Structure 1
């Protein structure tokens, strides 16, 4: 049994992982958060501002692994420094999601800039010698988004991005049928991360978790087979998206309380434009390092997930 610290522990993915770790009964868990929560069996909740490095170092004494779930770069660097001072062995940055092509896509995925900055900070920290072991968990998009509006995980908020299986409507960029996307279920992500915490070997810096690699065309074909009718495809021009225009009203307004009402429309447009363009550049295709390191784990394939959610509906 080792001590695990979750920073930003009230976030949606953090709560998914927290439930899993508590269920294994294999770890002592400290949950750090800006808000105050009552401690529960197996979890010690600690309120912190993350602003005092000395306080963080004290809180992390005896911790084996820190998992970070917030994206603020300066706060993340302070947490990393505190972890090093406290003698923490392993660190998980808030890298979750997109793959190694993300940095090349920051012109359209600007909100990912903090995680790239933190990745460089960790890389530089270990440049001369390894100061702290870390892995970037990358898994593409959640397969669960294809199940919207059905609730297929306990905490993760979903919404349709490219593919709306409820309405059988797809937003596609012209020429994108052969573009690849990695889809991994929330359960698979959580289970692999739990397995990685018990893995005795050295963690890979790039930690790809690959559920399924599928093309846009394959998703359309699966939808047609399972729903018994074809997608209505709305084609968008790449040059319009690159010019900052999303020429459709058929996109989801992001259901996040953290986004102010007056920013909801422009931010939703920005996210959809960025996603559609970055798919074509490979940002949502990830490697399979953790698949290889945990070879006995069986991943849920996209078509099996879709059949479970949509067959007969």
Structure 2
């Protein structure tokens, strides 16, 4: 048993991880949050209210005796909060750290994920001469739950529409649809993380998680089969995306609560979609099954099984 602190454990992704680790009952769990979370406190989970994630002394004291820190800090554009958390973890003697990742590959080229790359580089620099803090970038690709939008298939995860709307039968497809995508449910991601806390070996620096791997065109075909009728396909050209052009009559709705206001609205969606889709063209949404190999006894739900179960 180890003592794990889940920073931002009251948020949508973090809360799913908290619930699974608590459910498995193998580790002592503490949640760091900027606000009180009565539901967790009532369930017997210790919640520590952090006044400032920029106060290293406060964080260091709160991390005394902690073995592992999982970060789910959702909005940290200056990186001060997460860097301070890393420094406090080192000062407190924390052994393992997982930065705020929980998505696609590093160096994806998508501007919205640049801060993730900067934190990765920061951790690499700190550990350049010797290991001062073991860490892993947990990368499950896209949460499969997003494919069920707007249906809620998890207790706390916020979802929004991606390039495929199975309910409204709309699909974006880049040219011939040969791009590979990795999907993992939030539930399976939580199971992997919970088991990784007990993993006896050294954590991999980059930990891909693969629930299912499927080509864009095959996913659309599968969704059409499940719905029993063809989808309206909106074909996008890579050359247009490279020019920053999003030429589709259908624009996915972006109503994710955690997305900043400057990235919402159809005109703004058309601005950020080209670099996001180009990240997929570059392979950023196709993850290696690192944790699958390290935890071979875990069976994860693939895309087809998920869609047939929930739709």
TM-score range with shorter-chain normalisation?
over 0.9
Q: Give, in angstroms, the shift of residue 249 of structure 1.
A: 4.6
Aligned positions of 1:102-121 closer than 5 A? 102-103=106-107, 105-106=108-109, 109-121=110-122
What is the DSSP-based 3-state SS (H/G/I as helix, E as strand, rest coil) of the residue aligned with 1:285? coil
1:98 equivalent to 2:92? Answer: no
Instruction: Compute the TM-score of the two structures, normalised by the length of structure 1.
Output: 0.92
SS in 2 for 1:158: coil
Write out per-residue CA displacement over residues 141-162 of structure 1, whole angstroms, 9 at most, x where no aligned residue: 1111111121111111222211
* Structure 2: tracts of 5 or more residues without a match: none
Higher mean displacement: 260-269 or 8-17? 260-269
For structure 1, which runs of at least 5 residues remain unmatched after alignment? none
User: Cα distance 1:14–1:260, how it changes in 2: closer, same or farther (>3 A)?
Assistant: closer
Q: Distance in 2 between matches of 1:259 and 1:162?
A: 16
Q: Which residue of 1 aligns with 2:56?
A: 53
Query: Deviation string for 1:263-282 (max 9, x for gaps)?
Result: 52254334432332211110
Partner deviation per Cα, 1:211-257 (whole Å, 9 max, x = no partner): 11110121122122222212221112223322222223522332234
Measure the CA separation in 2 of the matches of 1:81 and 1:261: 31
Worse-superposed segment, 166-175 or 79-88: 166-175
Q: What is the 5 A alignment of 1:73-92?
A: 73-92=79-98
Task: Please list every run of at least 4 consecutive aligned residues from structure 1 whose deviation after the TM superposition is greater than 4 angstroms.
Answer: 258-263
**Relative to 1, partners in 2 of residues 1:220 and 1:263: Cα closer, same or farther, differing over 3 Å?**
closer
Counterpart position of 1:195: 195
In 2: Cα distance, 1:189 partner to 1:283 partner: 18
Q: Aligned to 1:161, what secondary structure does the other structure show?
A: coil
CA–CA distance in structure 2, aligned partners of residues 13 and 134 of structure 1: 19
Flag the 1:285–1:258 CA change in 2: closer, same or farther, 3 A: closer
- Structure 1 residue matching 2:120: 3-state secondary structure: helix
Q: Which secondary structure state, in structure 1, belongs to the residue aligned with residue 150 of structure 2?
A: coil
- Further displaced range: 219-228 or 293-302: 219-228
**1:5 to 1:113, Cα distance in 2 relative to 1, 3 A:** same
Q: Distance in 2 between matches of 1:268 and 1:227?
A: 26
Corresponding residue SS for 2:28: strand
TM-score normalised by the chain length of structure 2? 0.92
Alignment of 1:178-257 (within 5 A): 178-257=178-257
Aligned pairs for 1:85-164 (under 5 A) are 85-99=91-105, 102-103=106-107, 105-106=108-109, 109-164=110-165
Native 8 Å contact 1:3 1:64 kept in 2 = yes
Write the distance in 2 (CA, Å) between the matches of 1:66 and 1:95.
13
CA shift, 1:306, in A, is: 1.1
- Taking the aligned partners of 1:222 and 1:253, their CA distance within structure 2 comes to 22
Judge conservation of contact 2:2–2:197 (CA < 8 Å) in 1. Answer: no
SS in 1 for 2:42: coil
| Higher mean displacement: 209-218 or 241-250 | 241-250
1:13 Cα deviation after fit: 0.6
Partner of 1:42: 44
* 262 and 53 in structure 1: CA distance in 2 versus 1, 3 angstrom threshold: closer
Aligned length: 304
Partners of 2:104 and 2:141 within 8 A in 1: yes
